Structure 1
């Protein structure tokens, strides 16, 4: 006996037509949930509808602009726009490398905001495991601070840099779920041609709960940015107060244009910070008092006395208003 199917627009008693109709509905539901996959997407196993798959042939590589422990970064052209392409080290091929690439990409997608480097897409082709990101022409904050005359680093400009940097961290801390960057230093903030700041290198980030179960970020960033409670092993619980200390060092760099603990060995830094309870001074008399106070509060040896990033952003906004 034939079965009647009706949805107000479609009605039939033909079993084959019913089957085709149900398959068509299932396909539409799948498309809504996962996005329509192209043949290229299927070959590269697109992880989600939010991650755009980019073929290596769509990228025109220009020059090497950076190199690190886990990969190299190139300037390239994608859709006639300059992009930065991070190529992961090909020590291990296959599923593990692709999984790590996708994990970093998914984290970057969570932080989609004005002061976080934008992700355009990924490539997971064999021998081409790539992150395609926003291109920041002036490299990193540390490079800019090393050339104050070239960039005309007025106090207004430096305060804006500090605010934009803090805003990037604040966005990460308020992602869904909330995350911690775990690798804050002046080299992790990238700078565009208009000297606007965006935070990058989010691959080490973890949720707050996960970060608390891990040791401090001493292996993720240089020792000079590590909070004293982690240096002296009083606490291994990494929190947003740990990040406030690291960012206090970055703000000190912005205020002084100097490198932190320049010339000191790791053991000398530990002794200076932990045993002598010292902070490097801000010697410029033109530094706004409230900015200097904020930097010192962030570098306080007692993590409970350090401000949250919401307060850091609000304070920097208030200071910058006086320079408009």
Structure 2
């Protein structure tokens, strides 16, 4: 079983993104990154063949579209998996790779609901030149775009950290980054009151997260998310530190619940009963939603 991503024959748009994705995925291998099985770039075709990831993307789970409901512990595990994939790109890949389009649509869930970072068409490598940034045209997705990168056109790994912080806020609220002109980062900032339980965020937390039960670690998770979305990149943590902090939050949440940090969740059983021929990811190269300024 594989997933196919095919460009529209009448459009050559996406050629640069296609080559970037092939080159990058051919040299990186990590359990939290979607694996490339093969590709075709001839006779007018641009086709990428990926490992099949059956449970759709994180956005569909948070919106309820997929039928999958994620509890607090599973959301923490999804955050950890995605963070580990990014930390690998930033700190272990040589040269460093910046994804540049981290968002909930680009985090896929496998049969066990483990997170896999996908869609590397906008990714950039920083060659070992002593520079920790790249001067490049601004690309990304509105709502997730690092404001410092937007203003300076200086791309760093902290730009991915900002985007990941927005995803963290999505994980606890299930809201899109921008809804009716309201930006989730600003909404959380204005609503937060650290003197109250759950930082006074009860009204904007996703009810399916387990409201009504004792949720341990939510405040720590919010603190980490807000550190990731600091306006200045120098104030944001690196992804390796984000991984360590999420691991710590998971241990606290698991200890409080008296459960294994890796609970079994049956919410994906419906997907396992789907017709195996269903192609969830066959679509033209779609970097739509990408901001190109």
The TM-score with structure 2 as length reference comes to 0.70
Q: How big is the shift at 1:216?
A: 3.2
Match of 2:266 in 1: none
CA distance in 2, matches of 1:149, 1:115: 20
**Match of residue 99, structure 2, among 181, 186, 207:** 181
Deviation of 1:248 (Å): 0.3
Name the residue aligned to 2:120.
Answer: 202
Residues 26-80 of structure 1, C-alpha deviations (whole Å, 9 max, x = no match): xxxxxxxxxxxxxxxxxxxxxxxxxxxxxxxxxxxxxxxxxxxxxxxxxxxxxxx
Unaligned 5+ runs, structure 2: 193-200, 206-210, 255-260, 262-293
Change (3 A) 1:114 1:90: same
RMSD of Structure 2 on Structure 1 (CA): 2.9
SS at 1:133 equivalent: strand
1:228 maps to 2:159: no
Query: Which one has a larger percent helix, Structure 1 or Structure 2?
Result: 1
> 1:162: Cα distance to partner?
0.3
Tell me the equivalent position of 2:218. 288
Quote the Cα distance in structure 1 between the aligned partners of 2:65 and 2:83.
21
Alpha-carbon distance in 1 for matches of 2:188, 2:60: 29
* 1:247 alignment partner in structure 2: 164
1:212 counterpart (126, 130, 134): 134
Q: 1:140 aligns with which of 57, 66, 76?
A: 57
- Residue by residue, what CA displacement relative to the aligned partner does 1:190-209 show, whole Å, maximum 9, x if unpaired? 11222111011112111135
Contact preservation (8 Å) 1:261, 1:280: no
Q: Does 1:315 align with 2:237?
A: no
Higher relative contact order, chain-length normalized (CA < 8 Å, sep 6+): 2
- Specify the alignment match of 1:83 in structure 2: 2
Distance change in 2, residues 1:100/1:144 (3 Å): closer
Label 1:279 to 1:225 Cα distance change in 2 as closer, same or farther (>3 A). Answer: farther
CA distance in 1, matches of 2:230, 2:17: 35
Q: Shift of the alpha carbon at 1:169?
A: 1.1
Alpha carbons of 1:183 and 1:109: their partners in 2 closer, same or farther (altered >3 Å)?
same
Q: 1:317 to 1:189 in 2, by over 3 A?
A: same
Aligned residue runs from structure 1 range 112-131, under 5 A: 112-131=29-48
Aligned partner of 1:39 in structure 2 is: none
What is the CA distance between 1:280 and its match in structure 2?
Answer: 7.0
Q: Distance in 2 between matches of 1:127 and 1:183?
A: 26
Q: Determine if contact 2:136/2:153 at 8 Å carries over to the other structure.
A: yes
TM-superposed deviation, 1:92: 6.0
After superposition, give the CA deviation of every residue in 1:137-159 in whole Å (9 maximum; x if it has no partner): 22211001112994341111000
Tell me how far 1:102 sits from its aligned partner. Answer: 4.2
- Partners of 2:249 and 2:17 in 1: how far apart? 40
The answer on whether the counterparts of 1:110 and 1:176 sit within 8 Å (CA) in structure 2 is: no
Find the counterpart in structure 1 of residue 272 from structure 2: none
Distance 1:100 1:186 in 2: 19
Greater C-alpha radius of gyration: 1
